[in-house]
Structure formats: structure tokens, C-alpha cells
Copies of this chain bind each other. A is one copy, B any other.
Amino acid sequence: MKCEKNQFNCPVEATLSLIGGKYKPLILWHLIDHPLHYMELQRLISNATPKMLSQQLHDLENNGMIHREVIPEKPPKTVYSLTPFGQSIVPILDAMCQWGNNYLDGLDVQPPCCQSRK
């Protein structure tokens, strides 16, 4: 999904335009409790290709949801963390995760991660 400031049919559309990307909810989810390096995210979201991961990270950064900091070392590191704006959307992720778990339960599917937070 695009992340522009165009007209939306509904505020819900606006919300989805920010977190509707394939790996975006998952990225945000992993960043809730602590910042992570690119490599750690790559390992946690292993079926995302590097291209997809960095693309989604850039989208989230451009929308102000996450902060990207490069640490000039050898080897170089990049740390991603939630901004306050990104934090503000966590309750929605929580609600969606909880509902999604109930739904998957009904299908007898084991969710691969984040069954519940905390």
C-alpha cells in the first residue's frame, strides 16, 4: 500500500496505509520492547528478502513510525527503534494481534509468533 497524504475513503484507510505493508506490523511488533539491528530483524522475519525488509523499513521511517540510526563502526551497524508516533499505534497492533489469535485458534492454526505480548 501507498503511504501518501491523498484522500482516504475513511480514517481506517489512512491507518492501513501506514501499517498495511506485508511485513510492517511484524516489524513494529518486534520493535515494541527494544531497538533492533537490521540483522536481528532479518533473522526474526526470515522469509522477508533483504529488499522487502529494507523497503518496508524505509516506508516506516518516512512515515515517522520508526527511527533509523547508523552507528559508524567496523562492521557497521544500524539500529531501528520506534518513535513516539510509532508507539502510539501499538494499541491497534495489540488489538489486531489478539483478534487474529482468536481467529487462528478457530482454524486450529498455531500462530508462529507473538501469541500475546508480555
Contact = CB atoms under 8 A, between A and B. Distances in A.
Interface of A: 5, 7-16, 18, 20, 22-23, 25-26, 29, 45, 47, 88-89, 91-93, 95-104, 107, 109, 111-115
A115 to B, nearest CB: 8
B9 A45 contact: yes
A15 B104 CA distance: 9
Q: Is the interface of A mostly helix, strand, loop or mixed?
A: helix
A99 B92 CA distance: 8
A92 B97 CA distance: 10
Contacts of A11: 96-101, 103-104, 111, 114-115
20 contacts: A5-B109, A8-B100, A8-B109, A9-B23, A10-B29, A11-B98, A11-B101, A11-B114, A12-B25, A12-B29, A12-B100, A12-B114, A13-B22, A13-B25, A15-B97, A16-B16, A16-B20, A18-B103, A91-B99, A95-B95
